[in-house]
Structure 1
Amino acid sequence: MTRLFAFALCLCAGFSSTAMAEGRERIGYGVLFTNDLIGDTKDRWRTGSVASSRVWADGWTGVAPEGFGDLLEFRFNGEVIAPESLSRPAAQDRPFVGALSFGLHTHFKPAHVEFAVGADLIVTGAQTGLDDFQDYIHDIVGERNISRAVRRDQVDNAFRPAGVLEAGRSFEIGRARIRPFAEARGGVENLVRAGADITIGSLMQGELLVREPVTGHRYRVVRADKPGLAFILGGDIAYVDSSDYLPARSGITVRRDRTRLRGGAHWEGPRGGSLFYGVTWLGEEFDQQHGGRSWALCSLGCVSDKNSR
C-alpha cells in the first residue's frame, strides 16, 4: 500500500508540474466522503468511498471552457465494497473489493451541452491494503472484522483501465434548475446510464460540479464563493452489461438494471466554508442481493477552495 501512495503522490506532483508548465493554474479542489453505516446503520455492499478532485485551467469564467482538454481534472477515488456479513457471508453474496483509482478527466462545453470525459487506472485486490484499513475502522467503531475466507475470496490483484463519458444540459424552471444527463462507463464496469439532477436555490450557479461514481452526487470543485443554501434531488437508471466487481466465479448473477435515488443540501457560509450532506438509495446490483431496497449511503462533502494553490 505504501508503494501505491508513493505512486499517487508522484503522479499528482508530475501532473501539477505539467499543468502549470502549460500555463494553467489550480482553480479548484473538492472531496466527498460516503459511508452506509451512518445511512441505514448497516455496513455492507457499497459500504464506503472517498472521491477527490483537483482542477487546473487558464482561469474560470463561470462555465467550462469550449475546448477539449482546456480544463483538466486529476481525480482520485477509493472504495470498499463488501458482502452483507464480513465474518460469515452467504454462499451467494458478492466478494470483498478494495479499489483505488487515479484518473485524468476534462470538462468542456462547446455549445449548450456540458461534457465530461476521462480515463482512470483502477487498482484492486489485497495490494491496496483496504481490507486492513476496513478492519482498522471496525476496531474503532466496534464492528466485526473481515474473516480469512472473505479476504481469500476478494477480487484479485489487478490494474484495470476504465473510461467514462457524460453529457448533460441544464434548464431553468423558476428557482429550480433541472439537468438531464446520459453517461457511459467502460472497463471495470460496462454500463450506460440516464438520469437527471434538480437543484433548488441560487447556490452552485457558475460552479464546476463533478459526479461521484458510487452515489451519483455531484460535488463542488470550483466555487463561486457566494454564501447560500441549495437543495438537490436526483436519480438515474443504468443498463449493466458486466462488472469485474461481480465476477462469475462468485456464483452470483449481475442485474441488468441498476437504480439510484438521491437528495441532499449544499451550504456555503459567509466566511467561505462549505459543507454538503446527502443521502442515496441504491437498488440491487445482483439477483441474490436481499434487502437492497433499504440500502442507504450518507455523503459528506468538505471545503473546496478555488483560490488555493
Structure 2
Amino acid sequence: MNRLFAAACCAIIAMAGTITHAQERERLGYGRLVTNDAFGDVQDRWRTGSVASSRVWGRGWTGELPGRFGDILEFRIGGEIIAPNNTISPAPGDRPYAGALSLGLHTHFRTGALEMAVGADVVVTGPQTGLDGFQDALHGVLGMSGVSGAVRSAQIPNGVHPTLVVEAGHVLSLSDRARLRPFVEGRAGVESILRAGADLTIGQMGQGELLVRDPVTGQRYRAIRQVNAGYSFVLGGDIAKVSDSTYLPASRGYSLTNTRDRLRAGVHWQGESGQSAYYGLTWLGREFKAQSNGQLVGSLRLKLVF
C-alpha cells in the first residue's frame, strides 16, 4: 500500500509539474453525471447512487487530443453510496454499506493511434465521508426507509485509498455517423480491476469532444463540448476481472464473482440554444457470489439555458 501511495503521489506530482506557466492554461470544459437506481429499476440497493464531476484545463482545444502527456488536465471529483438490498435489516451475506468520496487528477493525450487517459485518485471511505448520515436524512425527508444503526456500524470503515487509473482506446470510423471505440482499462487501489470493452456512437455529437468515463457505469460524459445541435445514440459494454475490492473484503467472507459485466445505452441531445441533456441506462452484473442478480441504474445530465 505504501508503494501504491507513492506511485499515486508521483503521478499527481508529475502532472501538476507540467503547469509551469499557469497563465497559458484556460478552462476548456466541465462535465458531470449523476447516477442512481431511482432512474433505473427503482430498487435502492447495491450501487445505488453516485456523482462524477470533471473540470478540464489546457492550452486550447483543436478537437483532437494533444500528443503530450499533461497538456490536458482533468480535475475529477466523485462520490458514491453502496448499500445492501435492505438498509434496515439486510439479509445475511448481503454486501456492507459503503460511502466513498474521491478527488483526482488525470491527463488525456494521444500516442500513435491510441487515446490515453492516465491519472490518480485519492478515495476516502467510511463514516468520515458523512454519506451514511446524508442518505439517512434524505430518505427521511422523502418518506423512505433510512439507514439503520446496525447497517451504519457495520459499514466499510474509514480509510484512504490511493488509486491509479489507466485507459487506452482506439476509435474505428465505421461511417461518417458511426464510430466504434474498443478500450482496455486498469485500476489499482480501492478496487483492483482489469477491464476490456467497447462503445459504439451513432450520430455527430461527441466528435471533436473530450468524453470522460464514469467509473461506476462506464458511461462516457461530455467534458469538452462542441456547439453542434442534434442527437447521438450510444451502446457499450465491458467485462472485467476484479482481483480485490475494499467494498467487498475477503476478510469478511465475501467471494467476488469470476467476472464483472456491464451493458449500457444512452442518448445525447443538444439544442440550438445551448441546452443539452444525456440519459443512459446501465445493467450492472453481479459483483459478489451471494448477490442474487444484477441491477439497472440510470444516469442523467441536464444543462438548461434560460
TM-score normalised by structure 2 residue count:
0.91
Equivalent positions of 1:73-88 (< 5 A) are: 73-88=74-89
Identical-residue share of aligned pairs (%): 56
Q: Contact (CA 8 Å) 2:278, 2:301: kept in 1 or not? A: yes
Q: For residues 16-52 of structure 1, what are the alpha-carbon distances to aligned partners after superposition, in whole Å with 9 as ceiling and x for unaligned?
A: xx68725210100000000002211100000000000
How far apart are residue 109 of structure 1 and its match? 0.7
Equivalent positions of 1:99-118 (< 5 A) are: 99-118=100-119
Tell me, in whole angstroms, the C-alpha distance in 2 between the residues paired with 1:243 and 1:91: 19
Tell me, in whole angstroms, the C-alpha distance in 1 between the residues paired with 2:256 and 2:50: 21
Q: Which residue of 2 aligns with 1:50?
A: 51
Residues 1:267 and 2:269 aligned together: yes
Query: What's the secondary structure of 2:67's corresponding residue?
Result: coil
Query: What's the secondary structure of 2:38's corresponding residue?
Result: coil
Q: Contact (CA 8 Å) 1:179, 1:196: kept in 2 or not? A: yes
Match for 1:185 among 187, 208, 214?
187
Query: Which amino acid is 1:147 matched to?
Result: S
Tell me, in whole angstroms, the C-alpha distance in 2 between the residues paired with 1:233 and 1:284: 20
Q: For residues 228-247 of structure 1, what are the alpha-carbon distances to aligned partners after superposition, in whole Å with 9 as ceiling and x for unaligned?
A: 10000000000111101101
Q: Contact (CA 8 Å) 1:94, 1:250: kept in 2 or not? A: no
Q: Which residue of 2 aligns with 1:197?
A: 199
Query: Which amino acid is 2:185 matched to?
Result: E
Residues 1:69 and 2:70 aligned together: yes
Tell me, in whole angstroms, the C-alpha distance in 2 between the residues paired with 1:290 and 1:207: 39
Equivalent positions of 1:85-234 (< 5 A) are: 85-174=86-175, 175-234=177-236
Tell me, in whole angstroms, the C-alpha distance in 1 between the residues paired with 2:20 and 2:284: 37
Q: Which residue of 2 aligns with 1:302?
A: 302
Q: Contact (CA 8 Å) 2:81, 2:100: kept in 1 or not? A: yes
Q: Which residue of 2 aligns with 1:254?
A: 256
Q: Which residue of 2 aligns with 1:290?
A: 292
Tell me, in whole angstroms, the C-alpha distance in 2 between the residues paired with 1:69 and 1:304: 32
Query: Which amino acid is 1:200 matched to?
Result: I
Query: Which amino acid is 2:28 matched to?
Result: I
Q: Give ranges in structure 1 of 5+ residues lacking alignment.
A: 1-14
Q: Contact (CA 8 Å) 1:69, 1:107: kept in 2 or not? A: yes
Query: What's the secondary structure of 1:42's corresponding residue?
Result: coil
Query: What's the secondary structure of 2:138's corresponding residue?
Result: helix
**Higher RCO (C-alpha 8 Å, min separation 6):** 1
TM-score normalised by structure 1 residue count:
0.90
Q: For residues 120-146 of structure 1, what are the alpha-carbon distances to aligned partners after superposition, in whole Å with 9 as ceiling and x for unaligned?
A: 000100000000111122123322111
Tell me, in whole angstroms, the C-alpha distance in 2 between the residues paired with 1:49 and 1:37: 11
Query: What's the secondary structure of 1:267's corresponding residue?
Result: strand
Tell me, in whole angstroms, the C-alpha distance in 1 between the residues paired with 2:293 and 2:42: 13
Q: Contact (CA 8 Å) 1:29, 1:304: kept in 2 or not? A: no
CA RMSD of aligned residues (A): 1.5
Tell me, in whole angstroms, the C-alpha distance in 1 between the residues paired with 2:296 and 2:186: 24
CA distance change for structure 1 residues 142 and 176 in 2, over 3 Å: closer, same or farther? same
Q: Which residue of 2 aligns with 1:10?
A: none
Q: Contact (CA 8 Å) 1:86, 1:145: kept in 2 or not? A: yes
Q: Contact (CA 8 Å) 2:201, 2:233: kept in 1 or not? A: yes
Tell me, in whole angstroms, the C-alpha distance in 2 between the residues paired with 1:37 and 1:275: 18
Tell me, in whole angstroms, the C-alpha distance in 1 between the residues paired with 2:27 and 2:258: 40
Query: Which amino acid is 1:45 matched to?
Result: W
Q: Number of aligned residue pairs: give it.
A: 287
Query: Which amino acid is 2:119 matched to?
Result: G
Tell me, in whole angstroms, the C-alpha distance in 2 between the residues paired with 1:22 and 1:28: 17
